[in-house]
Amino acid sequence: MITITINNKEIRLERPVTVLEAAKANGIKIPHFCHHGILEQWGGCRMCLVEVEKMPRLQTACTLFVTDGMVVMTESETISNARRSVLEFILINHPLDCPVCDKAGECKLQDYVMQYGPTAGRFKEPKIRHPEGLNDPLIVRNQERCIMCTRCVRMCSGIQGASAIAVTNRGNHSSMEPFSGERFDCEYCGNCLTVCPVGAIMSRLHRYSYRSWQVTDEIQTVCPFCGVGCTMIAQVRDNALMRVVPKLGLGSNKGLLCNRGRFGYEYVGSGERLKNPLIKKNGKLQPASWEEALDTVASRLKDIKNSSGGNAIAGIAGARCTNEDNYAFQKLIRGLGSNNIDSIARMGFAGGQRIFEGMLGPGVTSTPLSGIADSDAVLVVGGDPSEVNPVLGVHIRMAFKKGAKVITIGHAPGLGRHRTAGLLPHPQADGVVMGGLISAILKDKKSLPGGNRPLEEKITVMHLPSADDAAAACKLSAEDIGRLAKQLAGASSVSIVVGREAGGNKDTAMLVSVLSYILNARIYLMSERPNEQGLVDMGCLPDMLPGGRPLAEEGLRKKCGASWGIDIPADEGLTLMEMIQAASSGGIKAMYVMGENPAFNLPDTKNTEEALRRLDFLVVQDIFMTETARMADVVLPALSWIEKDGTYTNAERKIQRLKKAISITGMEDWKIVAEVGKRIGLKMPYGKAADIMKEIARVSPLHAGLTYADIEGGDNLWPYKGEPHKNWFSFPELSADAFTSPAEEGLCLMLEKPLFHSGTLSRKSPALNSISPEAVLRLSPATASGLNLKDGDFAKVSTEKGSLSLKVKIDRGIDGPAAFVSNNFEGRGLFSLTGYRLDPVTKSPLTEGRQISIEKE
């Protein structure tokens, strides 16, 4: 125990912290610029000077650690004089342009000058001028306002790991600059502008539109872009969303955001938002009243149910809709007598999770994000976390900086500078490498851990390839695999981060489970959408009811059905791609799509689109006129994430509250679904989202008794207040070709997960479009020069399925013979070029037809 005295107040501390932290924890404010809770200490701004008894001169509170018996004064005349001098130095060149500075009102410099002075300047020399940097579409730099606290640079290199900005030039002329000196060429996380204490780096999105004191409401909500579920504060002025900001210490993101979260929110105010229900008449979608639209949907669905049976109806739930929306939606589909309900979570998330849970036990992916940074080894497989889940990627980079071994299997350019090793087998040969790794680790560990007998029995009959065989099969070095195996085996705390590509394939998912078991590693499942986990938990699956209860268990099914007043059919429904296939063959006649864009987001676009066209009746509920909505018979406009209440469940399986920050006319997804439900005779008496949560808490054993108050109070981690299902262990068989590497050589088409976009919503965001306006073909410098292509050339990319003309972008982050195309821009998506085959167990579509030819245009 350390006892110190600050301002005559005795303070007891468990462990040595800095004087500044000790003071802060006890409500004593010490002014500071360069100190920031998340950043490394620097001690450069000299604002936090304090007097310490028996020390000859003033000390910086942010770097001085407390010692027992220390006596500190944080305010005195000497200190005020020193601080005034510091401020006077800063004001030598800082302009007095507060009246036109967006930061005014939340500027530390403004506040401290008010507190300590000086009230007038003594310098006659002209101030050094830096022209305002308006060359960047998102970030405006006002370097004459910069006070050189270097918070932004320490954030960029120390935390974000992008190292895109640096202090440039010398002395008085120093400024913070990106490499080009003008435009940023970075990840656009914008974390530099969060930490800027003055108006030197700011967002252009809300420039000159409001002052911090004009904010009428600050609402804590969750980011709508990916499954990390970053906590953010929405600042509202007169019912308009002005900006979103993170808050230090709040949520798993701990004060960080990524570019999508920070700059992507403008889609909410897009003029392209759907406002009225539309009904197709004479082949054209025409505005209609809500009554007419809802009646049409209900009566057509009823007709089809009566004529072709409930099995002819299918529903695709929405990964960006809330738990409440999705719960109501699956109830509606089941109420129509169908278990044909699935979602985009099928593309790798849900299936992967099922295998992990089946092999390792329930809740195995419920792992707090903070565990990554504390790991001493991180294995990444099947995706690039820095692009899919940027804030999760930052945690991996932090682990690397702390000395953890970071090993990637497959393409992960975002971790290029933050990994100890990367293995790059053929995209369909992850399994071989993992097989080799497992046998090398087992050789190193000498024995299995014991504990999970069935799994160990399974491992012994897996016919794992030796490290040598694996290396030979995918043309890697056996020594590399052996070395990495040693690193993993020697680590005491291992995290495995699994992407969609690895989760959707049962073989790789099984091998990940084995790796996790023998290394005692935590599993983190990357999640591309904000509520993929919620879809699983709410029963938007053809074989599961809310709370992760299998449909096959009769007792549970009956109980659930009784509480809804319906008979839930016993037969499992179709999965996502099976529904599309059934639509194509005529088995499915009606489809209800909520908050999803299957015509664009599912592989083999052309066939998917044709299948949707064959439907007798297609309802699309969305906030934009998507590719799918254009084909619909009825389009129902919904509300966006900031306009409704509810909950999302993130990839950590943490339920978080979404709060309504602005009101517009319209109906939430759950309300529209309930209106349809009522019209077909279902009991859906919901007045507000909380009513649905009450019903969820009654019906789902996992969420038993859970309320919004619990969630907000922090009682929001899996298994909440409920009971996880006693897991039935299930061990699928490895495919015969699980440990083979495809023989074919040549260029391989890969899906780019663009950092700046996430599909249907992000492409309606002007800010994100300004930094990433179009689809490109990304090639490594070697591939491009082999094809005689330069940056900016146009090339025709052809596969068996079709061809696209795309602009070439040379990307040094890419290794090997791979060509990356995103699936983000209308009419320019990778899924129009590739086919798929269904994984027999996870039923995820696995990309087929990666062989491409590229011609210069």
Partner 1 sequence: MLSDKTIEEVEALKRRYPDPRGAILPSLYIAQREFGWLSPEAFEAVSIVLGVPKAHLRGVASFYAMYRHKPVGRHLIQLCTNVSCMIFGAEDLVSLLKNRYGAEVGGTSPDGRFSLVIMECIGACEAAPAMLVNEDFHNNLTENNITEILEKYK
- The residues binding partner 1 (CB under 8 A) are 157, 163-170, 177-181, 417, 812
Instruction: Using the minimum distance from each CB to partner 1, give the nearer residue, 57 or 170.
Output: 170
Neighbours of 810 (CB within 10 A): 20
How far is residue 745's CA from residue 171's CA, in Å, rounded to a whole number?
55
From the list 207, 261, 205, the residue with the least C-alpha distance to 232 is 261
What SS3 state is found at 231? Answer: strand
The nearest distance, CB 163 to partner 1, in angstroms, is 3
Instruction: Using the minimum distance from each CB to partner 1, give the nearer residue, 498 or 789.
Output: 789
Instruction: Using the minimum distance from each CB to partner 1, give the nearer residue, 286 or 785.
Output: 785
Instruction: Using the minimum distance from each CB to partner 1, give the nearer residue, 179 or 564.
Output: 179
From the list 135, 109, 128, the residue with the least C-alpha distance to 174 is 128
* Alpha-helical runs (H) found in 446-505: 453-460, 467-473, 478-490, 500-504
* Alpha-helical runs (H) found in 94-224: 108-116, 151-154, 191-195
Instruction: Using the minimum distance from each CB to partner 1, give the nearer residue, 166 or 462.
Output: 166
Instruction: Using the minimum distance from each CB to partner 1, give the nearer residue, 147 or 165.
Output: 165
The nearest distance, CB 186 to partner 1, in angstroms, is 8
The nearest distance, CB 167 to partner 1, in angstroms, is 5
Instruction: Using the minimum distance from each CB to partner 1, give the nearer residue, 34 or 164.
Output: 164
Q: In 172-185, which positions are buried (b, 16+ CB within 10 angstroms) versus exposed (e)? A: eeebbbbeeeeebe
The nearest distance, CB 39 to partner 1, in angstroms, is 17
How far is residue 480's CA from residue 433's CA, in Å, rounded to a whole number?
11
Q: How far is CA 553 from CA 24, 336, 539, 574, in A?
A: 55, 20, 14, 18
Can you give the C-alpha Rg of the chain in angstroms?
28
The nearest distance, CB 173 to partner 1, in angstroms, is 9
Give the CA dihedral 269, 328, 331, 294, nearest 10 degrees: -60
121: buried, middle or exposed (CB in 10 Å: 19+, 13-18, 0-12)?
A: exposed
Instruction: Using the minimum distance from each CB to partner 1, give the nearer residue, 135 or 851.
Output: 135
Q: What share of the chain is helix, strand, coil (3-state, %, to 5)?
A: 35, 20, 45
How far is residue 384's CA from residue 414's CA, in Å, rounded to a whole number?
6
Q: Which two tokens stand for residue 358?
A: 């089946």
Neighbours of 627 (CB within 10 A): 20
Instruction: Using the minimum distance from each CB to partner 1, give the nearer residue, 61 or 164.
Output: 164
From the list 275, 143, 232, the residue with the least C-alpha distance to 667 is 275
How far is residue 651's CA from residue 456's CA, in Å, rounded to a whole number?
27
Instruction: Using the minimum distance from each CB to partner 1, give the nearer residue, 55 or 782.
Output: 782
Instruction: Using the minimum distance from each CB to partner 1, give the nearer residue, 152 or 699.
Output: 152
How far is residue 347's CA from residue 501's CA, in Å, rounded to a whole number?
8
CB 739 within 8 A of CB 464: yes
How far is residue 706's CA from residue 711's CA, in Å, rounded to a whole number?
7
How far is residue 253's CA from residue 801's CA, in Å, rounded to a whole number?
41
The nearest distance, CB 154 to partner 1, in angstroms, is 12
All residues at 6 or more sequence positions from 122 whose CB lies less than 8 Å from its CB, including other chains: 88
Q: Which two tokens stand for residue 723?
A: 């009971």
Instruction: Using the minimum distance from each CB to partner 1, give the nearer residue, 73 or 167.
Output: 167
The nearest distance, CB 844 to partner 1, in angstroms, is 37
The nearest distance, CB 176 to partner 1, in angstroms, is 9
Instruction: Using the minimum distance from each CB to partner 1, give the nearer residue, 191 or 340.
Output: 191
What SS3 state is found at 606? Answer: helix
CB 222 within 8 A of CB 115: no
Instruction: Using the minimum distance from each CB to partner 1, give the nearer residue, 398 or 751.
Output: 398
Instruction: Using the minimum distance from each CB to partner 1, give the nearer residue, 259 or 605.
Output: 259
462: buried, middle or exposed (CB in 10 Å: 19+, 13-18, 0-12)?
A: middle
Instruction: Using the minimum distance from each CB to partner 1, give the nearer residue, 177 or 609.
Output: 177
The nearest distance, CB 330 to partner 1, in angstroms, is 48
How far is residue 524's CA from residue 532's CA, in Å, rounded to a whole number?
14
> Phi, psi (5° rounding) for residue 676?
-65, -45
The nearest distance, CB 153 to partner 1, in angstroms, is 8
From the list 387, 433, 388, the residue with the least C-alpha distance to 410 is 433
The nearest distance, CB 174 to partner 1, in angstroms, is 9
Q: Which residue has the tokens 């209440």?
A: 645
The nearest distance, CB 181 to partner 1, in angstroms, is 8
Q: Which residue has the tokens 């897991």?
A: 727
How far is residue 424's CA from residue 78's CA, in Å, rounded to a whole number?
61
The nearest distance, CB 813 to partner 1, in angstroms, is 11
Instruction: Using the minimum distance from each CB to partner 1, give the nearer residue, 178 or 315.
Output: 178
The nearest distance, CB 185 to partner 1, in angstroms, is 9
How far is residue 55's CA from residue 744's CA, in Å, rounded to a whole number?
72
The nearest distance, CB 182 to partner 1, in angstroms, is 12
The nearest distance, CB 168 to partner 1, in angstroms, is 5
According to DSSP, residue 15 is labeled S
Instruction: Using the minimum distance from each CB to partner 1, give the nearer residue, 196 or 568.
Output: 196
The nearest distance, CB 165 to partner 1, in angstroms, is 6
The nearest distance, CB 157 to partner 1, in angstroms, is 7
> Phi, psi (5° rounding) for residue 199?
-95, 35
